[in-house]
Amino acid sequence: MFNPNFTEQNTMKTNTETPRYAPIPLWNRISGTTRTWTYEAINDGKLRSIKVGRRRLIDVPSGLELLESLDEKNAA
């Protein structure tokens, strides 16, 4: 089915927005972290995530806050 709203500009615009939740591979690309670090942070209770069926989704805004707080600790 043809979608008149599907243009390169519209897809570029939506792709630049930060998602609320992201699967782990996308989270790793957004954050620059590794899969191992992500699972360790989830298991330690530092990184918030939810399960949807078999998929685990990362709470992106809280994850970015976590990374900022780690940067501040490393800078001090």
| pLDDT tens-digit map of 2-15 | 444 545 454 445 55
| pLDDT tens-digit map of 22-49 | 999 999 999 999 999 999 999 999 999 9
Whole-number pLDDT of residue 24: 97
The boundaries of the domain holding residue 68 are 19-75
Q: Assess if residue 23 is contained within a domain.
A: yes
Q: Assess if residue 24 is contained within a domain.
A: yes
Q: Assess if residue 2 is contained within a domain.
A: no
Q: Assess if residue 47 is contained within a domain.
A: yes
Domain count, the chain: 1
Residue labelled with tokens 């699972």 = 39
